[in-house]
Amino acid sequence: MTTTVDPKSGEPVNRVHPLVRSTGYEAGLRTAIVPGLQASITFFQLDLASELLFVGDAGTTEASRPSRRKGFELSAFYMPNNWLMMDLDYALADARFTDSDPTGNHIPGAVKGVGKFAVAVDNLGPLFGSMQIRYFGKRPLVEDNSIQSGNTVTVNGQIGIKIDKKFRVMLQVFNLFNTKAQRLITTIPPDFPVSPMPVLPTGTSILLKAVLSESIWSEIFKDQHTAEEPIELLNIWSPGNGTSYHLTE
């Protein structure tokens, strides 16, 4: 089943095929030769018979032209001793339309590169901490790549103290440097009728959390957690036009 009527305007829309052909290839390497280091790299290519695009004017998605993505993914986890851990993930993808069109072959909204780097310190007495850097690269907003979005770098961190072998209290900081980033970026044709509208707010402003947790290891590196959810003691955040506070049980 596919949409036949625009839910906003009630006008009929063209029906599209619910399933399109996709062909993918990938090859990679994994190594653990260096003591304490696990690293892998994967090269891939993905061909789609029809790319699904977000249409900012209507707030919907629509089937588009055939496309190809090719790139690589890099992952590395390094623990040189029992108190220091480092984790790196990075992916780079070149996304293009594969048919011929004078408007261009770049795919609007396709991010070229994303990455994460994290460092954690633990098992050095009662104190522990970690920091994570996240990166979102530029992306084209139009097919000829004449308009691009900016890239975004955010930093998150936490520091805490162990109460005993089971419980710990930590202070978590999200978006430490209060990086400004748009939640939504799209282009509008010059002749498109636009009524005055408020500007969309930026991404998450700086956020502080005080948390009582039963986890033994830093949550940033473990895939399996305890059944008990961390208890948030205090949230403090700045939404951009003021600062708000609230207590949670």
CATH number at 41 reads 2.40.170.20
Q: List Cα–Cα distances, 245 to 123, 161, 177, 230, 234, in angstroms.
A: 32, 23, 19, 19, 8
* pLDDT for 132: 96
pLDDT tens for each residue of 27-77: 999 999 999 999 999 999 999 999 988 776 666 778 889 999 999 999 999
pLDDT at 180: 79
Task: Kindly state whether residue 8 falls inside one of the protein's structural domains.
Answer: no
Structural domain boundaries enclosing 218? 22-190+201-247
Summarised one tens digit per residue, pLDDT across range 152-211 is: 999 999 999 988 877 888 888 888 888 877 666 666 655 555 544 444 444 556 777 777
* Mean pLDDT of the residues in the chain: 79
- Residue 149: pLDDT above 90? no
Instruction: Report pTM.
Output: 0.74
Q: How far is CA 112 from CA 57, 137, 138, in A?
A: 23, 6, 6
144 assigned to some structural domain: yes
Residues 6+ apart with CB under 8 A from 127: 159, 160, 161, 162
Beta strands in the chain (DSSP E): 22-31, 37-48, 52-55, 60-63, 67-78, 84-97, 113-121, 127-136, 152-162, 168-174, 207-213, 231-237, 244-247
State the pLDDT confidence band at 240, using cuts at 50, 70 and 90: very low
Quick check: is 125 in a domain? yes
How many structural domains comprise the chain? 1
Flag whether 164 is in a domain. yes
**145: in domain:** yes
Tell me whether residue 75 is in a domain.
Answer: yes
235 within some domain = yes
- Whether 12 is in a domain gets the answer no
Of the candidates 113, 134, 117, 18, the one whose C-alpha atom is nearest the C-alpha of residue 69 is: 113
Is the pLDDT at 230 greater than 80? The verdict is no
Instruction: Look at residue 187 in the predicted model and tell me its pLDDT.
Output: 63
